[in-house]
Amino acid sequence: MAAVITGDAADTRRDWRDRGSQRTEMMTPLLSVDALTLQYQTQDHIITATWRVSFEVFQGDRFILLGPSGCGKSSLLKAVGGFLRPVEGGIKLSDQPVRQPGPDRMMVFQEFDQLLGWKTVKANVAYPMKVSRRFPPEEIDERAAQSLAKVNLTKFADAYPHMLSGGMKQRVAIARALAMEPAILLMDEPFAALDALTRRAMQEEVLELWAETGTTMLFVTHSIEEALIVGSRILVLSPHPGQVRAEVDANDCSPSNIGSSPFQAMHRRIENMLFSRHLERAP
Ligand code: ADP
Ligand code: MG
């Protein structure tokens, strides 16, 4: 199994290039996150959510941010989305600094209530296309229909969100995001609130969508198994405040080999990384 694991983030990035993956030195990252420190100012004190986190996402990656609850995964995603300004470090998308939200970065959340309850499924999918004016108005209807077809919800185009199961609502949210043809799809634990069987089905659907569209994904989860199934590369983060522990190549792990010993070995190695305490603490 050609897994790349090291304990040090800087070495890992060097490793990644050296180990002869398809990437070359010439390839520039689609998204580069450089020494990102994120903080929240509350009434009494400052909370450091992440400490100097760096990573690079390349076109077509399924890049996972993996770490325990509270380690700053959502904060990182919000910063990439342009909703949270870093106190230190920077973010570039296609070599342009990220300073605000934009239609090139669409977000899918964990919550089932992210759809507009008073609009039909199809109108929900069409809505960001309408307000962003990203596409000519006459194309929007057809684009919404195509996107719903991709997640197998054509029959539910005229239904309202309250008529759908949790899994179906998440598929609508994914269709809505994909319809915008974002440069990168940001997903914050999108399946965490689903039952185990639906969750597994959704993970496989995401892989199918990726195979069909090639959309670059930045996917947050606290489940090692989900990270290995969905991801091509995994950034392992330490507990609060989040720092990079390692980067892992997950290309050899898939839904079809979950029970295999290489998959289980990789699972254990990541588990050890998540629970090891060798990293220096941020102040
Ligand atoms: P994760 O998504 O990995 O669970 P978060 O990014 O949500 O972690 O949170 C990281 C840290 O920042 C946590 O300690 C959390 O309590 C804190 N935090 C998150 N959002 C806010 C906020 N709006 N105000 C203050 N602290 C926050
Ligand atoms: Mg979160």
pLDDT at 275: 85
pLDDT number for residue 278: 57
72 CB within 6 A, ligand 1: yes
Question: What's the one-letter identity of residue 182?
Answer: P
Is residue 279 assigned to a domain? yes
Residue 2 is predicted with a pLDDT of 39
Contact 89, 129 (CB under 8 A): no
In one-letter notation, the amino acid at residue 183 is A
For the chain, state the CA radius of gyration: 19
193: which DSSP letter? Answer: T
Domain hosting 55: range is 1-102+218-283
The domain tally of the chain equals 1
Ligand 1: which residue has its CA nearest to atom 13? Answer: 70
- Which ligand sits nearest to residue 84's alpha carbon? 1
State whether residue 156 is helix, strand or coil.
helix
- Mean pLDDT per segment of 10 residues, for the chain of length 283 residues? 42 40 69 98 95 98 97 98 97 97 96 96 98 96 97 97 97 97 98 95 96 97 97 96 96 92 95 76 48
User: Is the residue at 160 inside a domain?
Assistant: no
Q: Please, how many CA atoms are within 13 Å of residue 140, restricted to the half-sphere of its CB? A: 18
Sequence-ordered list of residues with C-beta below 8 angstroms from that of 42, at least 6 positions apart, any chain: none
Q: Is residue 272 part of a domain?
A: yes
Cα–Cα distance for residue pair 187/110, rounded to 1 Å: 8
Separation between Cα atoms, residue 236 and residue 248, nearest integer Å: 8
Q: Does 176 reside within a domain?
A: no
User: CA nearest 107: which of 149, 131, 79?
Assistant: 79
Q: What is the structure's pLDDT at 27? A: 83
CATH number at residue 279: 3.40.50.300
Q: Does any domain span residue 194?
A: no
- Choose the residue to mutate in 36, 39, 47, 78 for probing ligand 1, maximizing ligand atoms within 8 Å of C-beta: 47
CA pair distance 192, 68, nearest whole angstrom: 13
- Alpha carbon distance, N-terminus to C-terminus of the chain: 37
Global confidence as pTM: 0.90
270 CA to centre of ligand 1 in angstroms: 23
* In-domain check, residue 43: yes
CA distances for 123 relative to 71, 155, 161, 181, angstroms: 35, 14, 11, 17
Give the pLDDT confidence score for residue 6 in this predicted structure: 44
